[in-house]
């Protein structure tokens, strides 16, 4: 890329498999990144007539920010009989489940933004007034996600046709959610597996072979 050749010392960020240079926006720690995709090819940094979207206030990658915001202070006392004459404290990571929940909440509450010209400058603002203002901790987007229920090779989406689901579940693995409201087929398959295993002295495990029938559900 021409920009990479002109400024080989700038840090680069991978977008859709291509290495694109960050462009300084004039504020320390803030950058403008070209959004790769059909509307924003990485080679040109933006489609004609459509400006780049500045990630204002993005001091760290959002995955790292989620981890950093989840750090908790932990302390341990040192001393005779637990007198705590000396206390050592550190910042510890929570379990991955809590970090995942934080990212999921941000993802579900992501705010759609658009670029608007104000005078001679472009400014980023919520796409609709109903969305309210956003902060540097919010996830924002300027293009809606593809419909992952439908196969679309251009976005790498395989769709959910043929996916197995759980007919008795009301969670994400349930047929209603997995099949995106579409019907599903049910058929019976024969499973052959080991069963009635026993330990034999010495020293191996002896099992029988059992057959069972199982209902399998697949999205149409």
- For 56, residues 6+ apart whose C-beta sits below 8 A from its C-beta are 30, 124, 136
Q: Are 54 and 136 within 8 A, CB to CB? A: no
Q: What is the percent of the chain with per-residue pLDDT over 70, rounded to a whole number?
A: 70
> What integer pLDDT is reported at residue 114 of this predicted model?
86
**What percent of the chain has pLDDT above 90?**
29
Most confident of 45-49, 51-55, 134-138, 171-175: 171-175
Identify the pLDDT of residue 61.
Answer: 54
> What pLDDT, on the 0 to 100 scale, is given for residue 62?
54
CA distances from 67 to 60, 62, 102, 108 (A): 11, 9, 9, 18
d(CA 186, CA 168): 12
Q: What is the pLDDT of residue 11?
A: 41
For residues 219 and 147, the model is more confident at 219
Q: Give me the mean pLDDT over the 125-137 stretch.
A: 78
Is residue 68 within a helix (H) or strand (E), and if so which, with residue range? helix 62-69
Over the stretch 143-195, which tens digit does the pLDDT of each residue have? 888 888 999 888 888 899 999 999 999 998 999 999 999 999 999 999 999 99
Model pTM score: 0.45
H-helix or E-strand containing 64? helix 62-69
């Amino acid at each position: 890329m021409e920009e990479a050749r002109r400024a080989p010392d700038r840090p680069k960020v991978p977008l859709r498999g291509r290495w694109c240079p960050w462009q300084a926006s004039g504020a320390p720690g803030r950058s403008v990144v070209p959004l790769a995709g059909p509307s924003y090819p990485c080679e040109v940094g933006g489609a004609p007539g459509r400006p780049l979207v500045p990630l204002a206030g993005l001091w760290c990658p959002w995955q790292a920010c989620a981890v950093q915001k989840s750090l908790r202070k932990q302390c341990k006392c040192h001393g005779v009989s637990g007198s705590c004459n000396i206390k050592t404290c550190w910042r510890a990571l929570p379990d991955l489940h809590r970090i995942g929940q934080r990212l999921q909440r941000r993802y579900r509450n992501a705010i759609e933004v658009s670029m608007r010209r104000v005078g001679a400058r472009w400014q980023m603002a919520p796409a609709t007034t109903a969305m309210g203002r956003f902060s540097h901790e919010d996830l924002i987007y300027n293009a809606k996600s593809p419909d992952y229920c439908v196969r679309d090779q251009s976005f790498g989406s395989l769709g959910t046709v043929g996916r197995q689901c759980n007919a008795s579940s009301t969670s994400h693995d349930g047929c209603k959610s997995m099949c995106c409201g579409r019907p599903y087929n049910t058929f019976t398959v024969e499973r052959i597996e080991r069963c009635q295993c026993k330990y034999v002295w010495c020293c191996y495990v002896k099992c029988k072979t059992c057959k069972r029938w199982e209902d399998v559900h697949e999205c149409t």
